[in-house]
Amino acid sequence: MKTQILDTATELFLNLGFKSVTMDDLSEHMGISKKTIYAHFKNKTDLVDQCTMGLFHKISHGIDCICDLGKNPIEELYEIKKFAMLHLKNEKTSPQYQLRKYYPAIFQRLQQKQFDVMQQCVVRNIRRGMEMGIYRANLNVDFVARIYFTGVTSLKDETLFPKNLLSQTELMDMYLEYHLRGIVTPKGRNVLNNIINSNCE
């Protein structure tokens, strides 16, 4: 039952927002009593925390699986972006923004975990790209990885990127291209252009 509650709550939080969904909404949606929910979770904050960390681990595992495929580093970043956006429901309700506003302690913990995972993944990606000659040989790997993380997290800030400006999918596509064009070699640019052109078809 706990797994069912977590799955349903995560779905509702992503589609409607952390603030909007109440414990009453969840019990009504599932056709169970609030007492059943509270048998597994102390309160809504505990539920939000477990949903957030559960989704984080699910996405991290998926990213690890993509990295294990040994794809071209440029293609790998596009696959990771596609996978993350699919599981975050394209962030229709800006859950990261709501998490930061209403559950700052959970947000801080999540961001640190995201940084650790993404730093490791992106550093590995950059080094592989440099070895293959599709990323420039003179890159400061740690700097590029940190700048990439900073950019990705900034896209979720609605004060910088209001929802009516561009969708999260459009923002991520534009940012990923922006990031890659700054680090690719001419050989890598050909790979990037092929990927972009095939995505447009």
CA-to-CA distance for 6 and 26, rounded, in angstroms? 10
Q: Does domain 44-200 have CATH number 3.40.50.1100?
A: no
Strand segments, DSSP code E, in 38-180 are: none
Per-residue model confidence as pLDDT tens digits over 165-190:
888 888 899 999 999 999 999 999 99
Question: Using alpha carbons only, how large is the chain's radius of gyration in Å?
Answer: 19
Q: Over pLDDT 90: what percentage of the chain?
A: 60
Residue boundaries of the structural domains of the chain: 44-200
What single-letter amino acid sits at 58? K
CA-to-CA distance for 15 and 88, rounded, in angstroms? 9
Per-residue model confidence as pLDDT tens digits over 35-78:
999 999 999 999 999 999 999 999 899 999 998 898 999 999 99
Question: 135 phi and psi, to 5 degrees?
Answer: -115, 150
